Chain A
């Protein structure tokens, strides 16, 4: 994200002749324009919080778009403190996840701040639109026994998207034994 949109034009010496957009911005656009619709009741019994990935919010400028999606998705939403552009890194960024090996221990230790932030929200779902954060928070969930579900927007959409009847597969044709 950060690499392609903001750094690549520097490395490659000229602007792209296409626009780079993060999924979060794109999904927010679809919802705003009414191109997709979500059923808010699906997650009505869950308290959600949102992990701002450093390279999506602070270094990617998508924090507001994420909040917009959440308005269509969650009834009970609690922000971490601090959040948005001022959010703490989960500890999995900067290549820390793929470095693995001897770096793993440092990564989990540095995630303590994030784990406590999440715990303080009392959330049952932590949404994050970044694979690094996703893997890191899943690890933190085990390491610090947070007892949460870590989900991406896409995973939540899969359950909450309102699919028009005419597009659905005909149930009676499917004989699943």
Chain B
């Protein structure tokens, strides 16, 4: 089995398995522990404050956005491109079709290309922010840089592969490797915020809400 076949086959399965399974376990553990130890969440449960809290931070409509417009804009665009680009990339769509015969809408290739560059640009901004702003530097750990690297690596290699810079095969292998690596680390690191964000916002939104105060 070639390296390509390995990454395209069993390792991809493994990556998706760890990613999806890991996140399910995270969510189950949250419910398991919280029903025992976090009773106020359920007692003061409120859909209204749950959605308001999530809504005001998904579309940046909050005081932080007013106070830090640039960081908010970059953060918003970064996350948007991070999710949309890989999901709606034509080349990825072809792979889904090959394997499962399923297909969905995809982005025009030039748009996806720009979005990749934007993602990388935003990532560099976030890294610079960590390096240059003293109050961000002191809270930054090595893990923060490593995880930012792991997140950006699939985009950098993907860009190189699309434009066939360097040795295509090597770049492609690296692209697949980093993509899978990113999926695998999500459940075990702060990147789990991609799901836990909703839980955290919900509990805080309800806690503020029952005091008639906004959490945004």
Interface of A toward B, CB cutoff 8 Å: 6, 9-10, 57-61, 85-86
Assess whether A10 is in contact with B213, with CB atoms less than 8 Å apart.
no
In the complex, what's the smallest C-beta–C-beta distance from B40 to chain A, in angstroms? Answer: 5
B43 at the interface (CB under 8 A from A): yes
Interface of B toward A, CB cutoff 8 Å: 39-40, 43, 63, 208, 210-214
Instruction: Determine the residue in chain A with the shortest Cβ distance to B215.
Output: A85
Kindly state the separation between the CA atoms of A110 and B176 in the bound complex, as whole angstroms.
51
What would be 17 A-B contacts, judged by CB atoms less than 8 Å apart? A6-B210, A6-B211, A9-B43, A10-B40, A57-B213, A58-B208, A58-B211, A58-B213, A59-B211, A59-B213, A60-B211, A61-B211, A61-B212, A61-B213, A85-B213, A85-B214, A86-B63
A-B contact count (CB 8 A): 19
Q: Which of A6, A10, A85 has the most CB of B within 10 A?
A: A85
Which 7 residue pairs spanning A and B have beta carbons closest together?
A: A61-B212, A61-B211, A85-B213, A10-B40, A58-B213, A59-B211, A61-B213
Kindly state the separation between the CA atoms of A59 and B39 in the bound complex, as whole angstroms.
19
* Chain B residue contacts of A85, Cβ below 8 A: 213-214
Kindly state the separation between the CA atoms of A69 and B210 in the bound complex, as whole angstroms.
23
Kindly state the separation between the CA atoms of A59 and B213 in the bound complex, as whole angstroms.
7
* Chain B residue contacts of A6, Cβ below 8 A: 210-211
Kindly state the separation between the CA atoms of A75 and B39 in the bound complex, as whole angstroms.
46
Kindly state the separation between the CA atoms of A139 and B18 in the bound complex, as whole angstroms.
57
